Structure 1
Amino acid sequence: MMRVAIVDDEPLARLAVKARLARHADLELVAEYGDGDTAAAGLAAIRPDLVFVDVEMPGKNGLDMLAALPRATRPLAILLTAHDTFAVRAFDLAALDYLLKPVDDDRLDDALDRARTAMSRLRPAAPPTWTRSFTVRAGTRTVIVDAAAVERIEADGDYATLHAGGKTYLVREPLQELARRLDPARFQRVHRSSIVRLDVVAELRALTNRDAMLRLRDGTLLRASRTYMPALTQALALHTHP
C-alpha cells in the first residue's frame, strides 16, 4: 500500500485529485494540506511515500516546500501546475512527473505507474505472486480461465476483455490493475488499452512516430505505443533468448 498526501491551496483541486486516487486500491490518502508551510511540517512528521504538490501557492510554493524537506526523507513527488515552466527545477528536486491542470486521468495514471515503479526500487519486497487464473462469469456459469491460455487483454472501460482460444471473457477489473498482477516475463502492456502474451507475437514492425505494429500468430494486428516500446522490446529479447 502506497501512502499518499496532497498539497494544494485550492479545495476543489484537492477534491479532484482525491476522487481520482480513490479509483486505485493500492493507494492510501494519509493527509492533505492547503499551504506549503503547514505541509512542510506535516510531511516531515508523517513521511508519506508519495505527495501531489501544487507548484503555485501563496507563501511557500510547492517547490520551496519540497526543497525544505531533508533529501533523505523527501517523499516521491508529482507536481500539479498550470504551466510547464517549472520543469527544470522540478527534476532537480527528483520529482517523478508534473501534471498540467486540469489534471487528465490518463496522465495521472501514467504518473502513478512511475511512482509504483520507483517505490518498488526503494523498498524491499517479497517475491511477487503472479496471477495464474481468472474467475469470470459466462452467462449463469462461473468459468476459470488459465492465464497461460490468454493471448491478449483489451481495456473495456473499467473492465477488461480476455481473449483466449478464440473466446472472449469479461473481467471486472481495469486493465492497469491486471497489468500489475501478470508475470512481466510472459505478458507485456503494449498500449494504454492492451496487453499481449509475449509468445503469441509473430512480428513487430516499427512505425515512423516511434510506435510499432504487432502481428500476433492468429493474424491480429495491435498498435504498440512508444511509451511501452522499451519494456516490450527488452521483454521480447529475453523471451526469445533467455
Structure 2
Amino acid sequence: MLRVLVVDDELPAREELAYLLRLDERIGEILTAESGADALRALEREPVDAIFLDIRMPGLTGIELARVLARFTHAPAVVFVTAYDEHAVDAFELEVVDYLLKPVRPERLTDAIRRVVERANGPAARREPADAETIPVELGGVTRFVPRSEVRYVEAHGDYARLHTGDASHLVRASLATLADQWQEAGFVRIHRRLLVALPYVSEVRFDAGRCVVQVGDAELQVSRRHTAQLRELLVRRARPGRGEGR
C-alpha cells in the first residue's frame, strides 16, 4: 500500500483530498502538510511514495517544491492538485505523474493513483502504450491535452518545440533534443537538426536535385544529408518487417 503526503495551505482542501484518498484501497498511510517547507520537514522524517501537491501556496510554491523533489535520489511521484490550469506546461517539463484540477473528481483521482502505482512498480510496469501519451498545450488561455499519436512532426523553436498535428500546431516548453530522446520508441525520427517526424505519417520520400524530401500530410520536409541514410534504412525496415537484417 502507498504512503502519500497531501500538501495544501487550505485546511478544507487537505481534508477533502485526504478523505477521497482513504476511499482507495491502494492507499495506506496519509500524511498532510500545510506548506512546502512543512512538506520538506515531513519528508526528512519519513519517505513517501507520492505527493499530492497544491501549486499556489505562500512561500515555497508547488512548482518550486517539485523542482526540489526532482533532485532527490529516490524522488516520490508528484501529482499536482490545483484550481488553475495554466501550469500544465510546467507539469510536463517536470514530468509529474498527473495534473488534477479542483474540485477533484473521484474518477480522475483513481486514475492518478493508478499512475502512481505503475511508477512505484518500475519503468516496465508504468510505461504507457507508445501512442497513449498526451501533451498539455495552452491555446487561448485554455489547456488542452493533445494525444502524441496525433503529432505528425515537431519543429525546433528556440528553447521550445512546435508540435504539428493534422489541423493545428502547438508550442510546448521542451527542446527538440529532449523530445527526440523521449519519443524514439514511439516512432519519431530526427530528419534534421530542426525537425522530428513520426514515421507512420511519412507518405512519400523523394529526391529533388540530390536532396531528400519527405511528405508528411500537406507538408514537404527537408531531410539533412546527415540523416538521409538513417531515414531510408528505417523506412525500408518498417515496410519489410519480416526481413532479417542479414538478408
Q: Provide TM-score, normalisation by structure 2.
A: 0.47
| Structure index of larger Rg | 2
Q: Provide TM-score, normalisation by structure 1.
A: 0.48
